[in-house]
Structure 1
Amino acid sequence: MKPFLPLLAGSVIALSAVAAHAEKIRVAGNFATEHSSSQAMQVFKDEVEALSNGEIEVDLFPARQLGGAAENVQAVKLGAVEIVWVGSAYLSRTVPDLAAVSMPFQFADRAEAFAVVDGPLGDKLDEKLADESMLSLGYMELGFRQLTNNVRPITGIADIDGLKIRLQPNETHLATFRALGANPVAMDVNELYSALEQGVIDGQENPFSIIDVAGYAEVQKHVSNTNHFFDFISVVANKKRFESLSPEHQEAVLAAMDKAIDFQRTLAAEQDAAALDKLIADGMVYTEVSPEFAAALRETTAPVAAEAKASLSPDVAELLAGQ
């Protein structure tokens, strides 16, 4: 047994040396730990650490541990964190051309939505992000956004009139709800729950899965399947920091993220399907949108989509027209 002790000691020293020299990657997000995207980032962590043989160490900070969504975007731009996963709307003021994939009633289903961001238009948007020192690592599903409020059931456009609704800081989203007669308020998700609880705002809009895991059923009464936007989660890295990695480590990060995104898209669809039943069980009153109401929503917001398209860069507009 004596020869084993020096061998064991040598192994511990070797492992300690690897840990001491491991590349550190800090990853921040504002989604709850139960959300599919946070679970996917754990997949990313496990995969990239395995692919790099421990030469990369990933520290995850979900659930707003490093601040709200806007703060996390700023942190990755400055290089304070290496990667952020965040609703794409929080990048739209930096890259306005992201409006190309955030128009009202743009996609019929998630398959159509992902075909766009995984194709030439998505590639062009990634170039726009790179111009702002952010490297796109891919798009997860945030999902179809649904309207909740504490005032009344939503059965027609007149029911939206005058409601103070929190939205993400996306100009197209805000213009959409102005067109519907609401009083939209851009607010970081970090402040949302307390604003709803205190009655500062009447309602908000999010995918069913977010409404569930964020606990909004505790502070909101009514929910409808308005499906007014399909939203994405952008995973972006600080471009300079990523390019400082060795080619082997860059390859490990990209491969691990591909696996994580595939995992998340599958899980997101499952969570979304189950979330509405959970919200109803938790006491929310569900009002289904009729075909006539859906048609009126599309008609009323069509000028917003047209204006958003007109504001796009010519190269982005050309690709969007080809979809």
Structure 2
Amino acid sequence: MRTILLGTSAALIMSASNVMADIELKIATDSGTADAPSGLAIAKWAERIEEGSNGEIDVKVFYQDELGGQLEVFDLFVAGEVDLMLSWPSTSYDKRIGVVNTPFMVSSWEEANEAFHYEGWASTIMNEVFSGIGLKYLGAWPEGFAGVATKGKYATNMKDAGDIKVRVQPFFPIPNTMQAMGYQTEALEWGEVFTSIQTGVVNGDSGNVIYWDYEYFGELLDYFVHTRHDFVTGNILANEESFDGLSDEHQKLIIETSNMMMDERFANAKTEDEANIARAVAGGMEYIEPSTEEVAAMKEAVRSTVWPLMEEQIGADIMAKIRAQAN
């Protein structure tokens, strides 16, 4: 009888172990194929989670467009069908998410690191905003400062920009920012951009670091004007319900591995962006930096036009924090 009981106990232990090993998490990114920097980052994140859990967590990784378009995959994420995400999120759930696209909020890598790293002032704001739609903000995944990539013609000032139509992401306040800088705009999903440039619907793309414009549209585009109007950063996020359903140990693992992901990105992003500029130039794209005076004029126009709109959309309290910190 004792042997039978011991055997039963062993079976129960094995069964419990199997249940623990059956935790499945889904990680996705809405921007980046498997070999893009963002795709490589989430693959490494998944690997670290699996290894750190000693096989107790199985992580499925989904890249750009594998679960749908940018808006669709964010819908799945908010609904809990995706557990973890490296996202450039939609403002459709909460206009306050537009804070991630605040133009001319930081002006240097040093300012960006201070704002977005760990308990930085911008990170504190982000966590407050994302929590409102059931998401936990784990950190920033910086790409660099945005520019405007065009075909046939370019502008370094607001007057010349009036003759150029650029694609903008359909997220507040991105269209407003580019309009304040003098450009005509067309809101397009990422999958529509190549054909739209090719057929002349738009003259180029805006709001990205040079990697995306050269990698995906390099054969079409001639110029990249580094306006630096926006610090482009992905957001490392967790669905709060999914996260809260994990054990304390596994929650700690998610946070530790996301911190590693953020640390590595902050350490390497500036160098990577500079390498991508050099690669684009070597490939025939002309890289142009507006003068200090031209950037100052754009900055003044955007802040005076767009920041009041943001105050209406995301709240005076949040914008007061940004105004207090921004140079």
Q: TM-score, normalised by structure 2?
A: 0.85
Cα 1:132–1:42, aligned 2, differ >3 Å: closer, same or farther? same
Partner of 1:210: 212
Structure 2: how far apart are the matches of 1:279 and 1:257?
30
- Residue identity matched to 1:317: M
- Give aligned pairs, total: 306
Q: Which residue of 2 aligns with 1:24?
A: 24
Equivalent residue number for residue 221 of structure 2: 220
Higher deviation after alignment, 276-285 or 261-270: 261-270
Cα distance in 1, alignment partners of residues 161 and 74 from structure 2? 31
**Aligned ranges 1:242-261 → 2 under 5 Å:** 242-261=243-262
The separation in 2 between residues aligned to 1:309 and 1:28, in whole angstroms, is 29
In structure 2, what residue type is equivalent to 1:107?
A: V
1:319 maps to which of 318, 321, 324: 321
Which deviates the most, 117-126 or 60-69? 117-126
Deviation at 1:150, TM superposition (A): 1.2
Instruction: Measure how far apart 1:300 and its partner are.
Output: 2.5
The answer on 1:155 being equivalent to 2:165 is no
- Check the 8 A contact 2:205/2:213 in 1, yes or no: no
Alpha-carbon distance, 1:219 to partner: 1.8
8 Å contact 1:40–1:263 — kept in the other structure?
no
Q: Name the Cα RMSD after superposition.
A: 2.3
Mark the CA change 1:180 to 1:318 in structure 2 (over 3 Å): closer, same or farther.
closer
| Other-structure match for 1:135 | 136
Give the corresponding residue for 1:10.
none
CA distance in structure 1 between the aligned counterparts of 2:21 and 2:323, rounded to whole angstroms = 49
Where does residue 298 of structure 1 map in the other structure?
A: 299
Indicate how the Cα distance of structure 1 residues 310 and 281 shifts in structure 2: closer, same or farther if over 3 A, else same: same
Q: Whose RCO is larger (CA < 8 A, sep 6+)? A: 1
Tell me the residue number matched to 1:310: 311
TM-aligned CA distance change 1:131 to 1:291, over 3 Å: closer
Between 288-297 and 51-60, the greater mean CA deviation after superposition: 288-297
Cα offset, 1:317, TM superposition: 3.0
Q: What amino acid is the match of 1:209?
A: Y
Q: Contact conserved, 1:137 with 1:237, CA < 8 A, in 2?
A: yes
Instruction: Please say which of residues 204-213 and 75-84 is displaced more in the overlay.
Output: 204-213
Residue 230 (structure 2) aligns with: 229
Aligned equivalents of 1:198, 1:20: Cα separation in 2:
53
**In 2, distance between residues paired with 1:278 and 1:52?**
39
Contact map agreement 2:49 2:254 (CA 8 A) in 1: yes
Between 1:162-171 and 1:96-105, the stretch displaced more is 96-105
Deviations 1:28-64 (Å, cap 9, x if unpaired)?
1121333332222122112111110011111111232
Show the counterpart of 2:289.
288
Is 1:172–1:304's contact at 8 Å kept on the other side of the alignment?
no
State TM-score, norm by structure 1: 0.86
Query: What per-residue deviation string (whole Å, max 9, x for no partner) do you get for residues 189-239 of structure 1?
Result: 2322232233322111210122233x2211212211111111220122221
Residues 317 and 153 of structure 1, relative CA distance in 2, 3 Å threshold? closer
Identity %: 23
Indicate conservation of the 8 Å contact 2:214/2:280, yes or no: yes
State the alpha-carbon separation in 1 of the partners of residues 156 and 324 from structure 2: 35
Q: Structure 2: state its 5+ residue gaps.
A: 1-13
* One-letter code aligned to 1:232: T
Contact 1:121–1:316 at 8 Å: present in 2 too?
Answer: no
Corresponding residue number in structure 1 for 2:95: 96
Mapped partners of 2:131, 2:98: distance in 1: 17
Listed as ranges, the matches of 1:63-142 within 5 Å are 63-87=64-88, 90-118=89-117, 119-142=120-143
Does the residue aligned with 1:138 lie in a helix, a strand or coil?
A: strand
Q: Which runs of 5+ in 1 are unaligned?
A: 1-13
Match of 1:144 in 2: 145
1:19 CA drift (Å): 9.1
